[in-house]
Structure 1
Amino acid sequence: MDSHQLLYLLYGGNEVYRQEARFSILTALREQRIPGSFTISVMTDEPQAFDGWPVNVIPLTTAMLADWKGANGYTHRRKACAIAAGVKLADKTIFVDTDTVFFKDPATLFERINDHQYLMDQFEWTWREAAKRPVYQRFAADLVARGKAPADTLKLYNSGICGITRANTGLMDAVIALIDEWADHGSTLHTIEQIAVSFMMGDSKVVTARDCVNHYYAKKRYHHAMNKGFFETYGEQYRSDLPQLSATVPVFFPGPGLVARTLAKVRLLSVAKPLRPAAKMIIYGQAISPPDYLEAHCRHALWNRAIELMQQKNATPLAIEQVINVCVPTARQPEFKALLAQRTAL
């Protein structure tokens, strides 16, 4: 059995998530300072996707995935089941959501875990704060009615990173039981899984990982664009130089510099106020400076978001044309209009 392992879960056959997982693995290997300081395991229903990759593949069957989803059909129950199964394979396990990149050695995170201390992605809010959020209110009221509300001071964590020891395997079994107890809320509160983890950790010592990783769940579209550009350029078959090549992709989606942001504010004054958020995205799409091979991918990610924002505002063709004339250089207007035509056709 391995001493320390990073654990991933990938299923469903979606290319976007497969690229997430592969790129995350590359960043972990890139940052690893001592070979063999940890291993990487991937639980997946497409084991062939990792042929030649330096990972331990744990095949998942359709029946197993159905069982992990449970009788109530809560998708993220599978994550809890994967951790419960995976934690038995090593002294210390860190589960990693695929939409995560490392910018420091994962080995340092294993140093933070022991039988009396857990590792999570980041602290989000206390129960007192969460219970006031609209999406939590029905769930919170139900817990109060059943006499099972936690202390106001309970800390809720994002579980994009979840590190525990083999000795604490029972924690995840209890999490799964809690998920099933809260089955009625899984369809409206999608974070039931990570709430259950926080509940079961209770007052235990918890440390966080955000000084070592970027869990980019809120900026997926932009990182997906960079992942796609990377693999289109270098291919998805593993080779020894891929981890170091992954360093050419920014850890955080690149933003424009101070001068570009200041100039954008001036240009936005001539755009109708409801369309300014979209116009800003269009301008920023030309002001960022990723590596050359990612430039178009990053620009198009921002421009596609801008088009979505204009569509949400029901912008007229004339209003959109005015935004284009203000925000897009003449030479690039055909490029933008081609994207617009694609989005309009969807």
Structure 2
Amino acid sequence: MRDTPEQALDIQVFTDTPEPYRRLPVRLRRFDAQTRRTWSGPHGYHFRCKQVLMRKVLEESDKAVLIDTDTFFHQNPMKLFERIEPGKLLCNALTTRYDACKQTTLYTALASILAQRGLADDSMPLLNSGVIGLTREDADILDRSVEMMDEFYPITPGAITLEEFCLAVAAYRTVEVNECPDLIHHYWSRKQLFRAKVCAWINKHGDNPTHPHGLNDTRNVTAHLPRPDAWQRLIHKGATMAVPKDQRQFVREVLYGCCDYSNEFDRACSHVWWEKAVGNAEQRLQQPLSAPQLQQWLDHWAVRKMLGQRHKDVCQHLLEPLKHR
């Protein structure tokens, strides 16, 4: 945005915790618990809030883009507005067809209802609503989507993606749906790793986030998943053959967090990799790891050799929480 200062953006942050944003050039739209309950609707579905507040913004603006906070910009945000025109809905990404989800509640509970009403069929494209861009004249799409959320929530228990599903239904055969994964990376998975990068940037620049040094550093907070190079992973794979088979993947993931990445914000992900290694191991074992069991894994002679000076840090970070379970 520094490259296009003549193009002003009204950046609004809707939040019930405004403090982290006070030093940023944004317009804070604070809401309280009662407002959240109202926006969540009759069933307390909190994802409903997104489309309700988007509808309110379109009462004030000719066009708007709602962006989830778990996102990275690949390019200038102004490019998003180039894709928003009357008769078009901008989403983060088109994901799959409706008939690819026949085992889900959204299909088993709703497919026949939607077909009978002429609202959807198996060829309907589904979308990710990490980005929602519309013009004011197409805001009624949001009204229809919210109405469907309220109607369908009781018969689709556990369907957390009902919000973006209803948006896809409301848009189907009504407007052209465009996507923007080339402009925005929506890290809805691996959130802990990307949040570690963001937190490292905040710790470094939070006191003066708009200083040129801080703005330059935002380019180093990338959408790249920090992992060792392929040749390093191959060495790790060979070295872990000395470890019992059920522990090898755990050790490899711990080693991901021990790599001396050139990017300081990638290095900030070390603890997350270690924690994910434990979590993934517990999923494979289908039971929690005890502190003595994890200590035994980490004290294996081959693991000690691979971790080297990081062995103490890894043990201290991972074992302490297990002792208090």
TM over 0.5: yes
- TM-score normalized by the length of structure 1: 0.82
Alignment equivalent of 1:339, drawn from 300, 307, 317:
317
RMSD (Å), alpha carbons: 2.3
| Higher-Rg member (1/2) | 2
How far apart, in 1, do the equivalents of 2:265 and 2:158 lie? 40
Distance 1:69 1:293, change over 3 A: closer
* TM-score for the superposition, normalised by structure 2: 0.87
1:142 counterpart (93, 102, 109): 109
Q: Give the equivalent residue in structure 2 for 1:284.
A: 256
State percent identity of aligned pairs.
21
Equivalent position of 1:67 in the other structure: 38
Displacement of 1:324 = 7.0
C-alpha distance in structure 2 between counterparts of 1:62 and 1:234, whole Å: 30
Q: 1:219-270: per-residue Cα shift (whole Å, max 9, x none)?
A: 1010111111111122255433232221222232322212212212212333
The answer as to whether partners of 2:51 and 2:142 remain within 8 angstroms in 1 is yes
Q: Is the partner of 1:125 in helix, strand or coil?
A: strand
Distance, in Å, in 1 between the alignment partners of 2:17 and 2:253 is 36
Deviates more, 1:242-251 or 1:58-67: 242-251
1:252 to 212, 224, 248: 224
Deviation at 1:150, TM superposition (A): 2.1
Deviates more, 1:102-111 or 1:42-51: 42-51
Deviation per CA, 1:147-183: give whole Å up to 9, x if none.
3572111000000011111111111111110100112
Letter in 1 for 2:250: A
Residue of 120, 143, 161 corresponding to 1:173: 143
Is the CA contact (8 Å cut-off) linking 1:282 and 1:327 kept in structure 2? no
* TM-superposed deviation, 1:194: 0.4
Q: Select which of 303, 306, 314 maps to 1:325.
A: 303
Pairwise CA distance, 1:319: 3.7
Match of 1:275 in 2: 247
Q: Secondary structure of 1:171's partner?
A: helix
Conserved? CA contact 1:279–1:327, under 8 Å: no
C-alpha displacement of 1:114: 0.5
- Unaligned residue ranges in structure 2 (runs of 5+): none
CA–CA distance in structure 1, aligned partners of residues 156 and 203 of structure 2 = 37
1:23-60 deviation per Cα after TM superposition (whole angstroms, max 9, x unaligned): xxxxxx56x63443432111222344433421122222
Q: For 1:286-305, list aligned pairs within 5 A.
A: 286-287=258-259, 289-292=261-264, 295=267, 297-305=268-276
The change in CA–CA distance for 1:60 and 1:323 in structure 2 (over 3 A counts) is farther
C-alpha displacement of 1:329 = 2.2
Task: Assess if the C-alpha contact under 8 Å between 1:250 and 1:290 holds in 2.
Answer: no
Q: CA deviation at 1:185?
A: 4.5
Give the 3 Å change call, closer, same or farther, for CA 286–320 of structure 1 in structure 2.
Answer: closer
2:237 paired residue number: 265
Preserved CA contact (<8 Å) 2:304 2:311: no
Match of 1:151 among 96, 116, 121: 121
- Alignment partners' CA distance in 2, 1:247 and 1:145: 47
Whole-Å separation in 2 of the counterparts to 1:35 and 1:247: 21
- Equivalence for 1:162: 132
Match of 1:96 in 2: 67
The 2-side partners of 1:225 and 1:185 are apart by 37
* SS of equivalent to 2:13: strand
In structure 1, give the amino acid aligned to 2:185.
Answer: N
Match of 2:277 in 1: 306
Distance 1:125 1:288, change over 3 A: farther
Comparing 82-91 with 192-201, which one deviates more in the overlay? 82-91
SS at match of 1:89: coil
Give the distance between the partners of 1:46 and 1:303, measured in 2 at CA. Answer: 29
Q: Could you tell me how far apart the structure 1 residues matched to 2:197 and 2:317 are? A: 17
Distance 1:72 1:127 in 2: 25
Matches within 5 A, 1:118-129: 118-129=89-100
More displaced, 121-130 or 272-281? 272-281
